[in-house]
Amino acid sequence: MKDDILPQAALVDLDGTIFEITPDWSMERNSAWELETMNAGVYATSVSYLQALKQSGLVIVVLTARGQTCRRLTREKLKSHGLWEMVDHIHHRPQQWNNAPSALYKEAMIKRLGRKYSFMVAMEDEDKNLDVMRKAGIPVVIDAKRWHDGAIIPSVHRTMG
């Protein structure tokens, strides 16, 4: 079977899953929004999950609807919480997908990434994306909304030089 030779991986969303949601994104205020993401708290439960998934030997693949212009800040944000070291691959949304619903983008990417990885588990907060992941046959799909009322690790905001 093809799956037997693919590396086993976890598919991980960022906003609403690892980080608190940063509201009011629009194409017009994308740059301001990207800076605001630095203030988002981190869900303690998601950090524990990530650590467990990483320790179990899964490849950690982050798939985010954040644009590619948010690459540097996202790296900085993950680093400031000690999460960057856990991430093996990170995929930001290319510009040509800007007008498409997040679920369509993720569906296309899961199809593509599914040729490289065997996804064992997914962490995600949006219902439409959760459906896409279940339909893609990912055996364990964790709805991050269940820990939205849980402990928050405050943002470790650093002044950007």
Least distance to Mg ion, CB of residue 159, Å? 27
Give just the sign of the alpha carbon dihedral 38, 109, 102, 129: negative
- Residue numbers 129-148 binding Mg ion by CB under 5 A: none
Stretch that binds Mg ion, among 7-15, 77-85, 107-115, 148-156 (CB under 5 A): 7-15
Least distance to Mg ion, CB of residue 38, Å? 17
- Residue numbers 12-71 binding Mg ion by CB under 5 A: 13, 15-16
Nearest residue to Mg ion, scored by beta-carbon proximity: 16
Stretch that binds Mg ion, among 33-41, 48-56, 122-130, 150-158 (CB under 5 A): 122-130
Q: How many residues bind Mg ion (CB under 5 A)?
A: 4
Told to check if 125 binds Mg ion by CB under 5 A, we report: yes
**Which tokens go with 74?**
């996202």
Q: Which residues are 8's β-sheet partners?
A: 118
Q: Which residues are 90's β-sheet partners?
A: 62
Cα distances from 105 to residues 77, 90, 95, 108, 155, in angstroms, run: 23, 14, 11, 5, 28
Give just the sign of the alpha carbon dihedral 63, 61, 42, 86: negative
- CB nearer to Mg ion: pick between 34 and 125: 125
Least distance to Mg ion, CB of residue 5, Å? 30
Say how many C-beta atoms besides its own lie within 10 A of residue 75's C-beta.
Answer: 13
Binding site for Mg ion (CB under 5 A): 13, 15-16, 125
